[in-house]
Every structure is written in structure tokens, then in C-alpha cells.
């Protein structure tokens, strides 16, 4: 589970900003507290929503999470620059390292993992196990543009042989590569693998135009997922009777694809395997599958409506509304929430969705999710600003200061009464994080 995330000198964040899933003192909605912990353990929230004016930095918080995840999972090519966009409204920030830090609950242990970096190299990296009364470093790494030095905590290197191997890994880690990534690639086990696995299999960041990876292949092969889709189609009143995946000739959807590219795809794909790529003709995402005989086909997602005689009528997913397409890519999150511990960060949850659907998404999450799953969403949907739905400590705001830097804070700081109209208070500017718009008379029209 995510406990805290901190970011500094990245995108619109200048000084360190911290977002926390630690529960406050409010007693409302006790079922929003993650279950399965001892009474003495820190209580963690299952959900949070983040509000703010346009360009306040909500999406930048999601981008910072995603950037860290991609650098950890993807590694860096030799000589490649780390993907960094420092805070630009500060003359010294371009030469000052950026930093990200995660505090995670993995099984029953708490770990702090983070790194500071310039475009050229990782400046510092650390992994610390946090106990009830003490902290133990797993490793701490420092680098310049040419060399890397790593110190290992004695508690995690019990033998001289292991120390020798880890020192070998340290010498072989490039300045632009994270040691965590390098260690896991060399088959180093826990706690390295445990932390890496959280980024690989627990955290998912969804942006407004994110298409579910291998969507058509997943739906085609998973009967239980198709059944879940049909259940949610009815629950959300989408007017859909079902869905299926059909095969279409590649040349009919991508007539301009060269033979060289087709041959490359045939060599990459095994029989029955598929790849997601951008259609060079329409610039849209398509799934190409190689059949047993070597033929390349495109998998198309078809949604079924019913005519006046209750007969199914097929619609391509691209013919559906933006809201329906958005839900098709969000519903698998609800399914995954039920089956395992997952942390989904959804940027602009309400994009193209009716307010009642955004609210229903949270209600389904609370009703069906795994006890340790978490849903974090940025939104403008005022219907979610309701203490009958959310706790005070689940509502967060982002606003920019006079220097144009984003800051993050919780509704808990204001201590509003439970019976207060939070939506009205927010619109009146009591909590900040709202645009200040000039009256039309002052626009000079």
C-alpha cells in the first residue's frame, strides 16, 4: 500500500510537496480504513480525491508518480538522459536535483524508497526499512556523472560472499541507472524484488487518454472479464448488451503498412501472440495478432446494442461516446481491485463521465475492493465533495503559490464540521485550490 509520496523540483513542484494516505482522527466511514492491521499499526486510507484549479498541478502529481515508475521499471539506456523537467520558474532549479520518495507498506513491513536525480545521473538513491522504533538502511547510493558509490546496511548483507557480489553490482551500475533496477535485473531477491514488484504489479497510473494495455487481447482471452463488463454495463446504465472481439484483415485497417514492417512483426510475434501499437494510417491504437499460419490480423473491440426487436447491433468501440470509451478502460480497474492488492491513480476520473458515474465508481470500489487496495483520483467533480461519501482526510487540494509552485494539502487542515456543505465552502474559496476569475466587466471587451 502507498503510505506517502513526496516530490521536489519536478514539473510544477518546487519545494517538497507530500501527499499522504495516513488516516486522520475523523471517525466517519471507518470502512474506508484498510483492514487487516494490528491496533498499534498506522491506519491507512483506501481512497483519496484531489481537487484544484486548472493548471494547479493535479496532473503533475500523477505525472511524477508515473515518471518514477517508468524509470524504475524500464531502466535507462547507456548514455540516455533521465526524463526530468525541473520547476522552471526558478533560475537555480535547472541545476538543482529533482527528487521523488515513496513510503510503502509491503506485507507487514514499511519501506522508504526514493532517489534524487539530474538529467545526467542519479545523485542519490536509498532504500530504508522503517520499524516501530528504528530505521535500518538496506542501501544508500551516491553518484556523480562518472562514478557510483553504494553503502549497504549490515542487517541485509549477512555474509562476506554476498557483500562481494553486491559490491560488484555497485561498481557495474551506470550513473544514469537506478541500483534497485540493476539489482532486480541481476536476480537479487527481497527486499529489492519486493519493492520493485510494487511498482510493476501494484501501482497503475491512468491518464485521461490511457488505453488499457492489450485491451482487446485481454477481453478476448478472459471470459470472466467479459462477464464483469456485462455486469457493469447494466449497473452503470450504458445501454449496452455486451461486447466481443473480432478479427479484421490488417490491410483493411492499415493499408499503408510496409511489407518490411509486417515481416518485422511476424518475426517478433509467436503464434497467437499480439502486440499493441500505433496505426501508422489513423494514428490510433490497434492490437495486431499473429495467427497460427503466420497471417497478421487486427483485433477489434465490438460493443453490442439492441434494436427495437432486442436483436444485437454491433458498434465499433471508436463509434461510442468518449464517456463509454473511458469506462471501457476503467472497468478493469474495478475488477482488479477485487482480486488483489492494487493502487490505481486515475488522473481526471470525471473526464467525459456523468457525475453519478464518478460517484458510482467510488461506491463500487468501497463495496467490492480488496482490503488493501487504494483508489486515488484527481477530479473537478463537485458531486464527490460530500462527507456522506468521503472522509475529510480523503479530500486533498493542490494550488499554486505566488511564485507559481504547486503545494498539496488536506481538508483535514481546516477541520470543517461534518454537517457542513463542503461543496459550497469549496466554491466560496474557503479551502483555496479554486480559480480566481475576473468579472466580465474587467475583461476589456
Report the DSSP beta bridge partners of residue 110.
Answer: 105, 130
C-alpha cell at 234: 447494466
Tell me what the mean pLDDT of segment 381-395 comes to. 92
Domain co-membership, 243 together with 152: no
Dist. CA 63–CA 84, nearest whole Å: 11
Tell me what the mean pLDDT of segment 418-428 comes to. 80
Domain co-membership, 152 together with 274: no
Residue 279 lies in a domain: yes
| CATH number of the domain where residue 197 is located | 3.40.50
Dist. CA 240–CA 314, nearest whole Å: 10
Contact 69, 58 (CB under 8 A): no
Tell me what the mean pLDDT of segment 132-153 comes to. 86
Confidence (pTM): 0.88
Q: What is the pLDDT of residue 4?
A: 96
- Which residue in 224, 225, 219 sits closest to 244, CA to CA? 219
Residue 337 lies in a domain: no
Residue 325 lies in a domain: no
**DSSP secondary structure code for residue 151 in this structure:** E
Dist. CA 123–CA 114, nearest whole Å: 11
**Range with the largest mean pLDDT of 62-66, 132-136, 204-208:** 62-66
Domain boundary among 320, 338, 371: 320
pLDDT digits (tens, 9 = 90+) for 99-116: 999 999 998 889 999 999
Q: What is the pLDDT of residue 444?
A: 57
Residue 299 phi/psi, 5° resolution? -90, 125
**DSSP secondary structure code for residue 45 in this structure:** B
Residue 329 lies in a domain: no
Domain co-membership, 263 together with 393: no
- Which residue in 47, 65, 102, 58 sits closest to 347, CA to CA? 58
The DSSP bridge pattern shows strands 47-51 and 17-20 to be unpaired
Domain co-membership, 247 together with 380: no
Residue 332 lies in a domain: no
Dist. CA 300–CA 86, nearest whole Å: 40
Domain co-membership, 126 together with 146: yes
* Burial class of residue 187 (count of CB atoms within 10 Å of its CB; 0-12, 13-18, 19+): exposed
DSSP string computed for 419-435: TS-HHHHHHTTTT--S-
Dist. CA 315–CA 307, nearest whole Å: 12
As for how many domains the chain has, the answer is 2
Report the mean per-residue pLDDT for the chain: 88
Place of cell 481512497: 47
Domain co-membership, 22 together with 112: yes
Residue 228 phi/psi, 5° resolution? -65, -40
Contact 396, 408 (CB under 8 A): yes
Domain boundary among 320, 336, 359: 320
Residue 75 or 14, more confident: 14
Residue 200 Cα distances to 71, 173, 318, 378, 405, angstroms: 11, 21, 29, 22, 30
Domain co-membership, 222 together with 197: no
Residue 6 or 209, more confident: 6
- Per-residue confidence band for 168, with pLDDT thresholds at 50, 70 and 90: confident
Residue 162 lies in a domain: yes
- Which residue in 207, 208, 206 sits closest to 322, CA to CA? 208
Domain co-membership, 192 together with 242: no
Q: What is the pLDDT of residue 445?
A: 54
The domain of 126 spans: 1-208+347-445
C-alpha cell at 439: 468579472
Residue 432 lies in a domain: yes
Domain co-membership, 246 together with 310: yes
Place of cell 506517502: 4
pLDDT digits (tens, 9 = 90+) for 277-309: 777 666 677 888 888 888 888 888 899 998 888
- Which residue in 161, 169, 160 sits closest to 188, CA to CA? 169
Amino acid at each position: 500500500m502507498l503510505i506517502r509520496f513526496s516530490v521536489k523540483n519536478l514539473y510544477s513542484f518546487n519545494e517538497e510537496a507530500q501527499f499522504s494516505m495516513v488516516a486522520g482522527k475523523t471517525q466517519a466511514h471507518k470502512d474506508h480504513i484498510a483492514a487487516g492491521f494490528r491496533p498499534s499499526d498506522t491506519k491507512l486510507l483506501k481512497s483519496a480525491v484531489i481537487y484544484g484549479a486548472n493548471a494547479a498541478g493535479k496532473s503533475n502529481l500523477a505525472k511524477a508518480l508515473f515518471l518514477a515508475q517508468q524509470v524504475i521499471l524500464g531502466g535507462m539506456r547507456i548514455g540516455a538522459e533521465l526524463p526530468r523537467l525541473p520547476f522552471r520558474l526558478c533560475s537555480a532549479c535547472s541545476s538543482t536535483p529533482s527528487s521523488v520518495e515513496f513510503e510503502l507498506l509491503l506485507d507487514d513491513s514499511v519501506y522508504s524508497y526514493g532517489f534524487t536525480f539530474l538529467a545526467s545521473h542519479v545523485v542519490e538513491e536509498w532504500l530504508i526499512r522503517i520499524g516501530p522504533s528504528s530505521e535500518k538502511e538496506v542501501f544508500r547510493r551516491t553518484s556523480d556523472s562518472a562514478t557510483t558509490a553504494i553503502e549497504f546496511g549490515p542487517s541485509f548483507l549477512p555474509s562476506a560472499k554476498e557483500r562481494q557480489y553486491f559490491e560488484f553490482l555497485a561498481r557495474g551500475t551506470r550513473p544514469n541507472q537506478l541500483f534497485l533496477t540493476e539489482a532486480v535485473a541481476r536476480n537479487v531477491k527481497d527486499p529489492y524484488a519486493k519493492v520493485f514488484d510494487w511498482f510493476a504489479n501494484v501501482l497503475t497510473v491512468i491518464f485521461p487518454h490511457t488505453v488499457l494495455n492489450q485491451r482487446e487481447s485481454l477481453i478476448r482471452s478472459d471470459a470472466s472479464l467479459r462477464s464483469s463488463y456485462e455486469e457493469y454495463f447494466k449497473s452503470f446504465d450504458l445501454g449496452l448488451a455486451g461486447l466481443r472481439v473480432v478479427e479484421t484483415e490488417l490491410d483493411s485497417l492499415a493499408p499503408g503498412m510496409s511489407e518490411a514492417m509486417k515481416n518485422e512483426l511476424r518475426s517478433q510475434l509467436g503464434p497467437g501472440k499480439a502486440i499493441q501499437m500505433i496505426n501508422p494510417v489513423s494514428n490510433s491504437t490497434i492490437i495486431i495478432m499473429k495467427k497460427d499460419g503466420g497471417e497478421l490480423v487486427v483485433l477489434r473491440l465490438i460493443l453490442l446494442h439492441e434494436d427495437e426487436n432486442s436483436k444485437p447491433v454491433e458498434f465499433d468501440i471508436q463509434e461510442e461516446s468518449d464517456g463509454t470509451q473511458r469506462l471501457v478502460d476503467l472497468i478493469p480497474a474495478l475488477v482488479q481491485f477485487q482480486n488483489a492488492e492494487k493502487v490505481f491513480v486515475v488522473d481526471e476520473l470525471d473526464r467525459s463521465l456523468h457525475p453519478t458515474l464518478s460517484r458510482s465508481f467510488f461506491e463500487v470500489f468501497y463495496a467490492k475492493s480488496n482490503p488493501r487496495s487504494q483508489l486515488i483520483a484527481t477530479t473537478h467533480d463537485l458531486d464527490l465533495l460530500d462527507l456522506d461519501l468521503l472522509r475529510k482526510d480523503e479530500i486533498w487540494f493542490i494550488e499554486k503559490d505566488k511564485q507559481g509552485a504547486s503545494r498539496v494539502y488536506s481538508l483535514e487542515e481546516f477541520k470543517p464540521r461534518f454537517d457542513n456543505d463542503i461543496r459550497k465552502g469549496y466554491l466560496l474559496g474557503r479551502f483555496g485550490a479554486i480559480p480566481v476569475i475576473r468579472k466580465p466587466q474587467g475583461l476589456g471587451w
